[in-house]
Amino acid sequence: MSSAPTPEDIGRDATWLAQALDPARGIVRFVAMSSESYREASFLDDRLLQSPVDAEAVPWPQVEAAVREDMRSDARWIFHIGHVGSTLVSRLLGELEGVLALREPRFLRDLRNIPPELRHPYAAPTTRLMSRTFATDQTACVKATSFVSGIAPALVPPGERALFIYAGVRNYVGNILAGPNSIREMHGRAPMRNATLKLLGIDLPQARNEAELAAIGWASEMATLETVAEQMKDRKIAWADFDLMLGRMESELARIADFFGFTADAARLQAIVGGPLMTRYSKALEYEYSPALRRDIIAESESRNGREIDGALAMIAAAAEKSPLLARVVARAGEG
């Protein structure tokens, strides 16, 4: 174990990840990282602590002292709805020269959970903390947890860039219903998603089955993205439908790299897309997973749940007739 990092250590580069925030105690947990440990980590939440790490608690005033006005704030950002391949996209981008990919630091979730009226003092330094790299010619690319999307305007400075990843409601619902873990997560997040829809003025009926509950989750997360996009007109935003991306990943990765300003020649893109990441489960590389398997899983789920999925889509379409925001969401996803 080393000693806790000084403000100079924190401000110098990305060696000390701001991994978690405890505003009640005024403490930030920093974890020592290398370029390779960032590359290997599927997530930078508390799953990172399952392996031996050097983690140190730093009082918030020292963190504020570390964040200088001349520090970079040019991280690129990925926001998304859940279960739409954002981890894969982050991994693929992280293989490009000069990109430091950060996947779901818990710090951002902790920040999102602070009441809005108390959030600003903690949000203000966050962009600079997340923009640190190991070299001046390297750029951070931060993928947030899906329910962090609502605070995107506080994280992305004017003029900077963010990618919004989504899927159509049919594929989303089919994918959620395909596995017990995603179904369990859906039930756990239902109260938060219902509260979000109420806040956004979208009136959906109570779910009669799990397909409708999944569709309500989709509507909540998509409406959040659509809402923050409206609030971020002075930022640069690109949208990507993950299932469409899978059919043309090389050209889509080139489009996103160009949007983010990353160096990506054709040979490198071909090597990345043709490499092992496209055949492994991006959240746990020891398991096989591929675009074809995703399609098969969704198709099998639809064969079992087709009637309920059709009903869930009809529910969304009916609600969109009364909600301009949801109508924009449906049009965005090509579901109208």
Q: Give residue-wise pLDDT tens across range 78-96.
A: 999 999 999 999 999 999 9
Cα distances (angstroms) measured from residue 85 to each of 140, 154, 272, 291, 293: 19, 24, 16, 10, 13
Q: Name the DSSP letter for residue 208.
A: S
Which residues are CB-neighbours of 291 under 8 A, at least 6 positions away? 246, 247, 249, 278
- For residues 134-154, average pLDDT: 97
Say what percent of the chain tops pLDDT 90: 98
For residue range 180-195, list pLDDT tens digits in order.
999 999 999 999 999 9
- For residues 32-39, average pLDDT: 98
3-state class (DSSP) for residue 166: strand
Question: What single letter denotes the amino acid at residue 70?
Answer: D
Q: Is the pLDDT of residue 315 over 70?
A: yes
d(CA 277, CA 56) in angstroms, rounded, equals: 32
d(CA 288, CA 12) in angstroms, rounded, equals: 38
- Residue 336 confidence (pLDDT): 54
Q: Name the DSSP letter for residue 280.
A: E
Under 8 Å between Cβ of 111 and 189: no
- Furthest CA-CA distance within the chain: 59
Beta strands in the chain, from DSSP E residues, in sequence order: 16-22, 27-32, 55-59, 76-80, 99-103, 139-143, 161-166, 236-241, 280-281, 284-288
- Residue 148 confidence (pLDDT): 98
- For residues 242-265, average pLDDT: 97
52, 85, 94, 35 alpha-carbon torsion, rounded to 10°: -10
d(CA 49, CA 26) in angstroms, rounded, equals: 20
Which residues are CB-neighbours of 202 under 8 A, at least 6 positions away? 219, 223, 319, 323, 325, 326
- Residue 335 confidence (pLDDT): 73
- For residues 23-51, average pLDDT: 96
- Residue 85 confidence (pLDDT): 96
Q: Is the pLDDT of residue 1 over 90?
A: no
pTM over 0.95: yes
- Residue 326 confidence (pLDDT): 98
Q: Could you give the count of Cα atoms lying within 13 Å of 254 in the half-sphere of its Cβ?
A: 10
Under 8 Å between Cβ of 128 and 73: yes
